[in-house]
Amino acid sequence: MGCQNVLRFSFLTLIAIAMVSLGNRTFGQESSNPVRASFRSEVDDLLTIEKITVLPFTDNLQGIYARPLEAHFIQLVQKMHRWNYIPATPTGPILAPEELEASPEKTIQATQGLGVDAAFAARISKGPKGIIIHLSLFLTKDGKLLSQAVLKDFKQFDIESLTSQIEKLLTEIVARLPYSGRVLSREGQRVTVNLGKKDGLNPNQMLSVVQIIQAQRHPKFNFLIKTEKEIFGKIKLLKVDDTLSFGIVVSEKERGAIQKNSKIGSIDFVTYDANAGLSLIPSPEEELTQRDDSALVFGKDAKPWKPTAPPTFGLVGGQLGLGRFSGNREAVGVGSPEATNNFVPSVNLIGELWLTQEWTFHAKLRQAIIPVDNPVSGSAPTELNQSLSYYEAGIGYSFRFGPYIWSPHLEPYMGYFYYRLFVDDSTPTVFTTIQFTGFKFGVRGSSPIGVRGAYGVGGNFSMAWKPGIKESPHPSGDSSEGSVTQFGIFGFKRIGERLKIQVDLEFEMFSANFSGLGGNHNPATSASHRHTTLLGGVIFMF
């Protein structure tokens, strides 16, 4: 019995020791490794910039401006405490910002192996109106343009003046970024932020910690238009140095939500005068309109000027036209009748939707009235009324050679078209109603005259692929084949940031060959329609 009691006591003792050890390990693990919430999104990670580089600047004067401005710009970036500067070591050709915008793959290739998150690129151009500087910031993860600042027609040509201007462009780009700074580290509730006195921070100031959950880019040029953010924490600053600040987390949505690289929201809050609605003191605009000479100086109902936002989504336009029509037909019994009209009125409506920076959806509608004299003697009526209906819808891929909506571009496209020329019936039958439908392939493009010139020119060319042909009221043959060729040139004049006047000269040829037996009493072996149209109207971009 004594041995059994000893064994029972030893067994219970071992169980107790194991439970205490397991319990201590479990509790220790839970206290030292709390579960952290993740407040990072894909777009938030994409917009995180820790390391940055400067790609070689370009100019149109063999480096006279590019080299000194690049050296000065690198010094500016090195002094900025928001990023770590990594020198660029390019091995390929030096690319201008416009070339990088057109091809994100080139941006990724130019920064490959540097381990940076973003890269600056700039082009300086000297023209007859002054200096133009394009400064662009590209993300290296997707190679796309993030932000851009442009100096236009600067009248001073010395390096010293240009260095001060490029400093302003850099400040402009930094101000457009969707966050002010980042959390560099966290230990417990203590955090370090990469902002300081130079950014306007003070002790006891509260900072908002945000997560970027959505970003909207320009559909054509990819630069950032706006972002949607969510505030998920607050930091109170305790100590503020020149370029660093130290604080504590005072609130967060979940424990551990604020981590390294969490974004700091805007430092400069938007403020309003709380008594503005009750004040009897007029605003500066109201003071100007209340001057005795306001009607003479500013005119009636004057309003403050606001800049027009650039077009983003697409365009619509309307044109009126006059043209020439020629139609002929090789028919049994009536010979080769031909009819012409040198005064054909028409209406043309066009529209585009810019789906992305490259892809464009476009549509076109044209209506025309084409009366012609009956060319066959003895056929009635003596005048034949014709009406043209043309519809087209397609999609194109645009290659744009510049950062502006007015920059030169070339766009291959394909689409579906419908052409129908209705004609009155006659006795004996002279002309029939013919319909062409099918897919077309083409290319179009335009270019301004000069640097962002007020005038521009362009053109287009397209052909149909095996168009379908339908003849009514009676077909001329059992089978048919045809061809459709369209081309034109146009010129335009800008009359605003979103408006232009455009004049088009278009040439179109629709032809068909028939074979076999049909139900027509005067069957034709071939038919053709030729249109030459001069169109003019207004195009609005939105």
SS3 at position 32: helix
For residue 396, pLDDT beyond 80: yes
Overall average pLDDT of the 190-204 stretch: 92
At 20, is the pLDDT very low, low, confident or very high (cuts 50, 70, 90)?
A: very low
pLDDT tops 90 at residue 268: no
pLDDT beyond 70 at 518: no
Does the pLDDT at position 517 exceed 80? no
Answer whether residue 2 shows pLDDT above 70: no
Mean pLDDT along residues 49-74 = 92
For strands 118-127 and 130-139, give the pairing.
Answer: antiparallel
Pairing assessment for the beta strands 386-397 and 399-400 based on DSSP bridges? unpaired
Among 312-321, 464-473, 476-485, the range scoring the smallest mean pLDDT is 476-485
pLDDT at residue 275, rounded to an integer: 52
| pLDDT average, residue stretch 421-435 | 89
Q: What is the mean pLDDT of the chain?
A: 85
**6 pLDDT above the threshold of 60:** no
Q: What pLDDT is stored for residue 310 in this prediction?
A: 73
Q: Return the pLDDT at 236.
A: 93
What is the arithmetic mean of pLDDT over 277-305?
Answer: 61
Mean pLDDT throughout 385-414?
A: 91
Q: How confident is the model at residue 30 (pLDDT cuts 50, 70, 90)?
A: very low
Return the pLDDT at 29.
Answer: 37
What is the rounded CA–CA span in Å between residue 229 and residue 400?
A: 31
pLDDT in tens, 325-371: 999 988 776 778 899 999 999 999 999 999 987 899 999 999 999 99
State what percent of residues in the chain have pLDDT above 90.
52
- Evaluate if pTM is beyond 0.85: no
pLDDT of residue 434 exceeding 90: yes
pLDDT class for 219, splitting at 50, 70, 90?
A: confident
Looking at residue 101, what is its pLDDT? 87
- Does residue 24 register a pLDDT over 50? no
- Give whichever of 46-60, 254-268, 451-465 has the largest mean pLDDT: 46-60
Cα separation values, 460 from 299, 318, 342, 446, 450, Å: 45, 18, 24, 9, 21
Q: Which residues on neighbouring strands pair with residue 261, listed in sequence order? A: none
The strand pairing partners of 368, in sequence order, are 346, 388
Taking every pair of Cα atoms in the chain, the longest distance, rounded to a whole number of angstroms, is 139
The pair of structure tokens assigned to 139 is 């993300």
Judged against a pLDDT cut of 50, whether residue 182 lies above it is answered with yes
Q: What is the mean pLDDT of residues 246-258?
A: 92
- State yes or no: pLDDT of 501 exceeds 80: yes
3-state secondary structure of 296: helix
Q: Check residue 23 and give its pLDDT.
A: 45
CA distances in angstroms from 68 to 39, 121, 163, 438, 531, listed in the order given: 43, 14, 9, 58, 58
Instruction: Give me the amino acid identity at 254.
Output: E
Which residue in the block uniquely carries the two structure tokens 């005259």? Answer: 449
β-bridge pairing 399-400 and 455-472: unpaired
pLDDT at 302: 66
Name residue, tokens 């302003």.
168
CA distances (Å), origin 47, targets 2, 112, 141, 179, 379: 75, 18, 9, 9, 75
Residue 187, pLDDT > 60, answer yes
Q: Lowest-confidence range among 160-169, 314-323, 399-408?
A: 399-408
